[in-house]
């Protein structure tokens, strides 16, 4: 199992929760969904780029009225929440299709239900 983080320097809580699994059945790798190079580097570090299950839960939120938000902040949100997933799927899907196997699980938040 590989857990990924944009900033592995902040992995203390994850490492503590993993306990003895860390380094045995769990690895922590760097991956930033907003950076295609980071995605490729992470996947290239996996033998054969073989991913059976991709669980995507990267996301950021934004609160407040639309007129109070900058366009740059909204673009950044979409880059992470939407295009980040697109980048990941584009990298893992070709191998999954070749193997005719694999699963992609996308985790969202309650914010998707709020208008």
pLDDT tens-place string over residues 41-95: 999 999 999 999 999 988 888 888 989 999 999 999 999 999 999 999 999 999 9
Burial letters 91-107, b for 16+ CB under 10 A, else e: bbeebbeeeeebeeeee
Largest CA distance in the chain: 49
- Cβ burial, residue 70 (10 Å; 0-12/13-18/19+): exposed
Does the structure show a pLDDT above 70 at 115?
no
All structural domains of the chain with their residue ranges = 52-112
pLDDT band (50, 70, 90) for residue 33: very high
For 60, left (φ over 0), alpha (ψ -120 to 50), or beta? beta
Give the mean pLDDT of 13-40. 96
């Amino acid at each position: 199992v590989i857990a990924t983080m944009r900033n592995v320097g902040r992995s203390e809580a994850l490492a503590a929760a993993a306990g003895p699994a860390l380094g045995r059945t769990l690895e922590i790798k760097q991956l930033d969904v907003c950076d295609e190079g980071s995605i490729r580097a992470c996947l290239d570090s996996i033998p054969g780029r073989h991913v059976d299950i991709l669980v995507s839960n990267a996301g950021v939120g934004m609160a407040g009225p639309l007129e109070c938000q900058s366009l740059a902040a909204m673009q950044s949100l979409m880059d992470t929440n939407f295009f980040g997933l697109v980048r990941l799927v584009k990298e893992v899907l070709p191998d999954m299709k070749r193997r005719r196997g694999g699963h992609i699980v996308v985790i969202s938040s309650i914010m998707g239900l709020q208008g």
